[in-house]
Amino acid sequence: MSRLIQAIIGPRVPADELRSRPARYLTPTFMFMVARILLLVSVFFPYWHMELEAPQYPKGLYLTAYINHLSGDVREIDGLNHYIGMRPLGEAAKFERSVAVWAVIAMFLLVEGAAFVHTRWAVVLAIPAIAFPAGFLIDLYFWMRTFGLNLDPDAPLSSSVKPFVPTVLGEGGIGQFKTYADLGSGYWLAVAAAVLTIIGFIFHRRAYKPLFERMHREASAKGGAP
């Protein structure tokens, strides 16, 4: 194994060390495994919900956002948004939705790879999975803001509605329309995956930092030997 590769992936655990302290080395691997499973499962659950109350819809309208598609009363909500000049919801985050599942699969594999890298480079592999929940909210806010601040001036009710930023979480609304938005179970599974990954790195550092330091000492001793 070259020095460069060894410096990146780190030392391997000696068999006798693994037998004597299995929990020390299996704990981070187990946490990374659970984290990536939760992340993958989150694809099948909603990330965001919104309920819209309007006079002509006394039972309310509902919108559910998964990472790769929208469901619910999308057509009816688009119809209402048309009157104030807001673009159809399906035009938002087209690229993000088209690559979302593949992105989650990539993060799944990166976290899996982090379990086999026994240096600080493992953190780099897991950064996308850790940052993913925050990235989802930032992207959602970006599109809500973009749509709300760029209303069609030729819309039927354009003169009575000024550009606004729709509420991403909690209660909001404009005029006689009220909205209630919250995060879905898929989002919280992604958050749990990120938290478990972070905790996994605490155990990862405790397990492999001493081995990495010993590897460096041995390499330095060999390099200084006559």
Distance between CA atoms of residues 87 and 155, nearest Å: 10
Cα–Cα separations (whole angstroms), residue 37 to 105, 126, 192: 10, 14, 11
Distance between CA atoms of residues 66 and 130, nearest Å: 19
Residue 103 makes CB contacts below 8 A (sequence gap 6+) with: 128
Whether residue 32 contacts residue 115, with contact meaning beta carbons closer than 8 Å, is answered with yes
Residue 181 dihedral angles phi and psi, to the nearest 5° = -125, 140
Half-sphere exposure of 203 (CA within 13 A, CB side): 18
Which pLDDT score, from 0 to 100, does residue 219 have? 58
Which pLDDT score, from 0 to 100, does residue 215 have? 66
Which pLDDT score, from 0 to 100, does residue 7 have? 65
Residue with tokens 């590897």, as numbered in its chain: 215
Tokens of 171: 């209660």
> How buried is residue 129: exposed, middle or buried, by Cβ count under 10 Å (0-12/13-18/19+)?
buried
Which pLDDT score, from 0 to 100, does residue 195 have? 98
179 in helix, strand or coil? strand
User: Tell me, what DSSP letter sits at residue 191?
Assistant: H
Whether residue 79 contacts residue 63, with contact meaning beta carbons closer than 8 Å, is answered with no
The string of pLDDT tens digits covering residues 127-167 is 999 999 999 999 999 999 999 999 998 988 878 888 889 99
What order do you get walking across the sheet with 170-174 strand by strand? 70-72, 57-65, 48-54, 177-183, 170-174
Residue 102: name the closest of 46, 40, 192, 185 by CA. Answer: 40
Q: How many domains does the chain have?
A: 1
Query: Assign residue 2 a region: left if phi > 0, alpha if psi is -120 to 50, beta otherwise?
Result: beta
Query: Assign residue 72 a region: left if phi > 0, alpha if psi is -120 to 50, beta otherwise?
Result: left
pTM: 0.89
Which pLDDT score, from 0 to 100, does residue 216 have? 63
Task: Please give the residue range of the domain that contains residue 110.
Answer: 3-224
Question: Residue ranges of the chain with pLDDT lower than 70?
Answer: 1-8, 10, 212-213, 215-226
